[in-house]
Chain A
C-alpha cells in the first residue's frame, strides 16, 4: 500500500492563508514527517524543562536532610515524575522525534510510511504524558494517595507507550521499506541504522511493559492484592524507566555521534560495518530488560555460581558498553584525518556521548553486588547522566540537521557554548550522586540520611548542576526559537557543505 502525502509546502500555504486556528489545525493534521518530528521534539523540550525543574526541587530538599521546605507527601510524586519524565517525556520522544524528522530524508524517501499513524502516535503520547503529569499533581502515580489519580497515571502511561509504539512502527517501516531503489540496508547512513535498531528495540520492549501495566491497572482498579496496589507500580514497571532499558532509548543518540564524526573529518567512515555492529550490540540490552529482573554480579559461591551470575550480567550490561565503545573508537578513528574541520554540533554530540558511556559504566559498577550500591542515589546519578547526555546529543542533532528541517541555521557559538555548559552542568548534577551513592545515601529519599562525609556539599553541588542545566535548556530553547523563526535562510546544509564551523 502506498501512502500519499501532501508536500510540506502545501501545508505552509494553508497555514499562511487561514490564521492562527488554521495554523494549529494544519499542525495537528499534518502528515509531513518533519513536522511530526518537530512536534515530538518541541513537546519533549517542554517536558524536559519540567523534568529539570523537578530534579532541581528534589536536590534543593536534599541539601538540608533534617528539614523539608515542601510537603513530605509530595516527595513520592516528585520522584515518580522525575523517573517517568526522564524516560517517557524526554529520552524516547526526543530520539524518536529526530528519527521521524531525519531518517526518511536519509533513506531517500519523500515521506514517512504511515504518516497518520505516526501523527496518531504523537497525539496519544502528548495526551498520555499530560495525563501522567496531571495525575502526579493530583496525588496519583506510584505511591499516590488518590486512587482515581493512580488509575489516571496508569491510563496515561498506557497511552504514552501506545503512542511511542505507533511512531516507532512508522520509523521501522520507513527504513526497511522506503529506501531509494538500489540502496541496500548496509548502505544507509549510521543515524538511519540507529533509528531502525532503536525503534525496533522499542517495538520489542514497550509491549512487555504495557502487558505488565495492564495487569497492574486492572489489579489496582479492582482488588489491590496481587500487584501491591499503588506502591507496586514502580516495583513492576520501574525497569522500563531505569538501566539497562534506558540504553535502548538512547541508541539513536549513538547513531548521531557516528554520523557527525565523518562530517567533521570530511571523509567517509572507513569501517561502516563496525559502526553498525557497535550500534546493534547496544540493543542486546533488550534481552535483559524484558526479563524484568536485575542481573547483578555476585562474587560469591563456587566458580560455577560466579560464572552463572557473571554471564547474564556481562551479556546484558557489559555488551551494550562494548557497543558504545566500538562506535566511539571508530568515530575517533575517522577523526584521524588531514581534512578535519571542527563543526559546532560535534562538540555537544561528543560530550553527550561521553555522558551516556559514563552512565553505562556506572550501571555496570552498580550491579556488582559487593559494591553495595543497590538502593542508593548512585542509580539516580546514572539516570541523570544518561538523560542529560541524551539531551546534549539531541541539541547537536537539532543544530546539525536544523538547516534541513527548518531551512535556517543555529549560530555556531551558541551551539558549542550551550553544549559545553550543558556538559559541565551534567557532571555537576550527576557526579555528586555517584559519590553520595558510595557513601550510602538512600535513593528516593530527601531526609534523614546520615553518613560520614559532606552530604550537604554533594547535594548542593548536584542541585547547582540541575539549575545550570535548566538555564542551558532555557537558553537552547530561546536560541532555537529565535534562529529557526527569524534567522538567516540557508540552502543545503552548511555544516556538511563546508560553509560553517
Chain B
C-alpha cells in the first residue's frame, strides 16, 4: 500500500437492503399475474369468436367447449378449494414465524408444499377424466397450454415451499423475509388459479 492509499478513507459500511426478497417476489408476482391474465385474455378472444348455439334454457351460448368434453366439476371445485387452503397455510407460516415458532412454521411450510403436490395431482386427474386430446382442436390446445402454464407455476410454488421449509428447519427462523415472500407467492397462485377456474371450468 502506498502512503497515498493509507490516507484514503475506508469504504463505508455495506448498505442493508430493505426487503429485497419481498420486492423481487412482488415483481415476479406482477409478472405472473400479467402472464396468466394475458393468457386468459386470449382465451376470451377465442371464446368470443366461436360460433353461437342454443344452450340450456334456450339461451344462445358460444360453442367453445367441444360437445364430447365434460368438465369434471367435483375435481375442479376441489382443486380450487385446495389452492385457497394452500394460501391460508402460507399465511399460517407467516403467523408462526412472527412468533418465532419454528416448529409450526416448518409444519405450515411443509403442508403448503404437500397441498401444492395435491393440486398437481388433482390437475392430472382432471386431464385423465376429461380425456381431451391436445391435437384435437383449438380448445384442447389452449386448454392444455393455459392449465399447463398454471401447473408449472404451482411446481415453482412447491419448490419455494420446500426451500423456505428447509431454511427454517436449518434454524433461520429470524429470517422472516422468505416466509413472507412465500406467502405472497401462494396468494398469487391461489388468485391466479381461482381466475382460471372461473373462466375455464365454471364459465366453460
Residues of A within 8 A of B (CB): 1-3, 108-110, 113-114, 117, 165, 168-170, 172-174, 176-181, 200, 203-212, 214-215, 218-219, 222-223, 225-226, 290, 292
Contacts and interface: CB of A to CB of B under 8 A. Distances in A.
Contacts of B35: 207-208, 210-211
Contact of A181 (B15, B34, B177): B15
Complex A-B, nearest 6 residue pairs according to Cβ-Cβ distance, in ascending order? A226-B138, A208-B38, A207-B35, A211-B39, A211-B38, A173-B24
Contact of B144 (A177, A178, A211, A218): A218
The residue among A3, A172, A207, A219 with the most chain B CB atoms within 10 A of its own CB is A207
Nearest to A169: B27
A1 B16 CA distance: 10
Given A203-B30, A290-B34, 12 more contacts: A1-B175, A110-B14, A114-B20, A117-B24, A169-B24, A169-B31, A172-B27, A177-B19, A178-B15, A218-B141, A218-B148, A223-B136
A203 B5 CA distance: 43
Interface string B140-155: 1110111011000000
Contact of B23 (A2, A177, A206, A223): A177
Contacts of A176: 23
Contact of B27 (A178, A203, A219, A225): A203
A173 B27 contact: yes
A218 B140 CA distance: 10
12 contacts: A2-B16, A3-B17, A169-B27, A177-B19, A209-B38, A210-B38, A211-B35, A214-B39, A218-B145, A225-B138, A226-B142, A292-B41
A238 B42 CA distance: 15
A173 B144 CA distance: 33
A109 B15 CA distance: 6
A215 B20 contact: no
Given A172-B27, A204-B30, A222-B134, A177 B39 contact: no
A180 B36 contact: no
A218 B135 CA distance: 9
A178 B17 contact: yes
Nearest to A217: B145
Contact of B34 (A109, A110, A207, A292): A207
Contacts of B178: 1
Contacts of A204: 30-31, 34
Contacts of A223: 134-138, 140-141
Contacts of B42: 211-212, 215
Nearest to B142: A215
Given A211-B35, A211-B39, A223-B137, A181 B16 contact: yes
A268 to B, nearest CB: 23
A169 B22 CA distance: 12
Contacts of A117: 24
Contacts of B148: 214, 218
Contacts of A212: 38-39, 42
A218 B144 CA distance: 8
B144 A206 contact: no
A180 B32 CA distance: 30
B46 interface: yes
A495 to B, nearest CB: 22
Contacts of A181: 15-16
Contacts of B41: 292
Nearest to A219: B141
B69 to A, nearest CB: 15
B28 interface: yes
A214 B17 contact: no
A379 B39 CA distance: 27
Contacts of A108: 15
B28 to A, nearest CB: 6
A207 B39 CA distance: 9
B168 to A, nearest CB: 13
A2 B24 contact: no
Contacts of A169: 24, 27-28, 31
Contact of B149 (A203, A208, A214): A214
